[in-house]
Structure 1
């Protein structure tokens, strides 16, 4: 059996020092082991790491060419930060904008009864900010059901 859990999400970074600085501008603290060559942020329930794109490709055993000089594009995955109150969606988007994020979708009421918005970091990793009225969080802030 494969354990049903996600413990680490790694983003392939084209310019790791700049991407690290962006997440720090969001107010996130990286771990003491972090450098401009590999960086880890502790989040509720999952570690988020930044690793050089070319090294991640090599580590995974892939043979993919990095985008050379072109603006990164959507990679077919989004990450989500669920918050405890609807107004927090607006607050998070404001902070992301101030940190240099590209706002993809302004905060609005969602068809499923919550509130949602999207931003992209400087390398176009897409983040959803959502408030779900039925979300349940544990004592660490990790969402355990909705």
Structure 2
């Protein structure tokens, strides 16, 4: 299983974004300090209030929520081009913004990237079965 922990400045605003993406909130692991969202059966994103997130850090580290520094781009795969576009539409409806416009960097790959309200980037991409070497 994969648990992605991200700092948040406003959990209510963050909840709106992740709900709009269609992820499932896990109330068991959500409270005033944390909001747990299941992306799949094996991937969960934990949004932690900035101060609570900081309590897990060591060596003088501090959470960054300035939207200017990136250490990671979270990437998910889609089953179709349409799913990429729908993901972007839902992200915008949930209070997110475009990080990178939809494009086709090479034939058979279609991608886009959005930011959640705290500036965390989520990429979404579809690759045709032919490009991936799978029978269609």
Is TM (by shorter chain) over 0.5?
A: yes
Aligned to 1:131, the other structure's residue is in SS state strand
Alignment deviations for residues 48-68 of structure 1 (CA, whole Å, 9 cap, x no partner): 11112232222121423556x
TM-score normalised by length of structure 2: 0.80
Structure 2 residues without counterparts, runs of 5 or longer: none
1:51 is the counterpart of 2:57: no
1:28 equivalent in structure 2: 23
Q: Kindly indicate whether the alpha-carbon contact (under 8 Å) linking 1:100 and 1:122 is maintained by their aligned counterparts in 2.
A: yes
SS of the residue aligned with 1:122? coil
**More displaced 10-residue stretch of structure 1: 47-56 or 57-66:** 57-66
Residue 32 of structure 1 and its aligned partner are, at CA, apart by 2.2
1:110 shift after superposition: 2.2
Local SS of the residue matching 1:50: strand
Question: How far apart are residue 71 of structure 1 and its match?
Answer: 4.3
1:94 Cα offset (Å): 1.4
Query: Relative contact order (alpha carbons < 8 A, sep ≥ 6): 1 or 2 greater?
Result: 2
Give the equivalent residue in structure 2 for 1:39. Answer: 35
CA-atom RMSD in angstroms: 2.2
Note the C-alpha offset of 1:116: 0.4
Q: What is the total number of aligned residue pairs between the two structures?
A: 128
